[in-house]
Amino acid sequence: MSGTETRLAVAIVGGLHADARRTAVREILRTVPGSVALHHDLSSAADGAVRRTVRDGRGLLGAGDAPLVNDCACCALREDLVPELLRLADGGGHRLAVVELWDSVEPQAVAAVIAAEGEPLKLTGVATAVDPALLVPCLTDGDDLAEAGLAAAPRDQRTIADTFARQLEYPTVIAVFEGGAADRPSDDGDHALLAQLTPGARRVRTSEAALGPALLVGFDVAAAAARQHPACALLPQECDEHGVSTVVWRRERPFHPGRLYAALEDLTCAAARSRGRFWLADRPDTLLSWDAAGGALCVESAGPWMAALPAAAWEMVPAERRVAASLDWHPRHGDRRQHLTFTSPGLDRDGLLTLLDSCLLTDAEYAAGPDGWRKLPRAFDELLDPVA
């Protein structure tokens, strides 16, 4: 069963909005002949097992329990999923296997597992199902998944907002649900927010017959990972529509670490979602990532800037990153720059830009050069170099 024509197409459909996700999967099963859906329900993990179901458009085909692995529901999913997909492939008769993820499972890790298996499986699409009316409530919800009963492991420390943001930004298809799962129907502002947050994805209504075919065109795991990497991420573009704005802030000067640290709370709360990359004057060789949702900010090192690498190391860097660096190249700083995006209804554009600009080095501070910058207060040591 090694020929390309005998490979089983596999598509992933995920998302925190369960009604939207189930509707999307149901529509795919109805419109794509030979399709079957697998779902691992992690809500029963506290009882020591993960419940697996397999169904097609006519109903349930089978069910079983997958034992926990290392007390981790997601590990159980990974251990059980591929064997089930291989069983379906070996049995023949199926054109498409839809992997319906449980609420808080993120598609990126599952996509990597399926793609790594290779033949006879072929990952052909990844979608997140979304109810637009629930966008703002989810993106502004800073509660831990555990508090909502959605944790995928005992030590799962993710929040609803950051999990939902990653579910939105990874796939190439957004399945848009109009079933009224929220207390109110979605409006133009909700759809504008969705469009601005997912610039590289195709948006298809869950009621459209085109949803299934959209998940059969193919999916490049390496390219998807590159779109998420802070150095070359596909970030939203400048926009202002239906009361929803995206501000793209790009500057060449480094941040003053002390002034930026003092402004973190205001900047984090300025928008429902903000992302990007930046550099600090006292850490000129470190590319830093900015990831904020639900009133919480994650700042992490994403490795060195390209300009800080020896020329011989450039060939070992993915092509997408080399291209991104060349587009941003500055004769003095190389690819070092500030590139942050803020997306939200009711965004205070002028106030945000003023605050961001105030955190940059002044003319006098900038003139001191890298030797002087390294003497500035190291305000981010606790965030970036925590003591174990």
Instruction: State pLDDT tens for residues 4-18.
Output: 457 899 999 999 999
Cα-based distances in Å from 158 to 69, 151, 352: 20, 8, 27
Band of pLDDT at residue 255, cut at 50, 70 and 90: very high
Q: Give me the pLDDT at residue 6, please.
A: 73
Query: 53 and 62 in contact (C-beta within 8 Å)?
Result: yes
Residue 79: its H or E element = helix 73-91
Band of pLDDT at residue 62, cut at 50, 70 and 90: very high
Q: Give me the pLDDT at residue 154, please.
A: 74
What is the distance between the alpha carbons of residues 312 and 129, in angstroms, rounded to a whole number? 43
262-283 tens-digit pLDDT: 999 999 999 999 999 999 999 9
Give residue limits of the domains in the chain: 4-228, 239-384
What is the distance between the alpha carbons of residues 317 and 320, in angstroms, rounded to a whole number? 8
User: Does the pLDDT value for residue 28 go beyond 80?
Assistant: yes
Q: Give me the pLDDT at residue 180, please.
A: 62
User: Does the pLDDT value for residue 36 go beyond 90?
Assistant: yes
pLDDT above 70 coverage of the chain, percent:
95
Q: Cα–chain-centroid distance for residue 96?
A: 24
Range 239-384 classified under CATH 3.30.1360.180: no
More confident site: 2 or 355: 355
332-386 tens-digit pLDDT: 999 999 999 999 999 999 999 999 999 999 999 999 999 999 999 999 999 998 7
Q: 4-228 and 239-384: same fold?
A: no
Over residues 21-37, the mean pLDDT reads 96
150-195 tens-digit pLDDT: 988 777 889 999 999 999 999 999 999 987 655 677 899 999 999 9
Q: Give me the pLDDT at residue 71, please.
A: 63
Query: Which distant-in-sequence residues (6+ apart) come within 8 Å of 23 by Cβ?
Result: 129, 177, 179, 206
User: Does the pLDDT value for residue 61 go beyond 80?
Assistant: yes
Cα-based distances in Å from 185 to 179, 180, 189, 191: 8, 5, 11, 11
Over residues 239-257, the mean pLDDT reads 97
Band of pLDDT at residue 49, cut at 50, 70 and 90: confident
pLDDT above 90 coverage of the chain, percent:
78
Band of pLDDT at residue 2, cut at 50, 70 and 90: very low
Q: Give me the pLDDT at residue 387, please.
A: 53
User: Does the pLDDT value for residue 44 go beyond 70?
Assistant: yes
Token code pair at residue 22: 């189930």
Average pLDDT, the chain: 92
Sheet containing 202-205: order of strands: 59-67, 49-56, 35-41, 96-100, 8-14, 121-130, 173-176, 202-205
User: Does the pLDDT value for residue 70 go beyond 70?
Assistant: no
3-state SS class at 130: strand
What is the distance between the alpha carbons of residues 368 and 115, in angstroms, rounded to a whole number? 50
Residue 77 main-chain phi, psi, to 5 deg: -60, -50
Query: 373 and 361 in contact (C-beta within 8 Å)?
Result: yes
What is the distance between the alpha carbons of residues 356 and 324, in angstroms, rounded to a whole number? 23
More confident site: 367 or 43: 367
Q: Give me the pLDDT at residue 73, please.
A: 66
Q: Give me the pLDDT at residue 3, please.
A: 43
Cα-based distances in Å from 212 to 30, 95, 187, 216, 271: 9, 11, 25, 7, 34
User: Does the pLDDT value for residue 239 go beyond 80?
Assistant: yes
Over residues 29-56, the mean pLDDT reads 88
Full-model pTM: 0.93
Range 4-228 classified under CATH 3.40.50: yes
Band of pLDDT at residue 1, cut at 50, 70 and 90: very low
Over residues 252-269, the mean pLDDT reads 98
Residue 238 main-chain phi, psi, to 5 deg: -55, 130
Q: Give me the pLDDT at residue 384, please.
A: 92
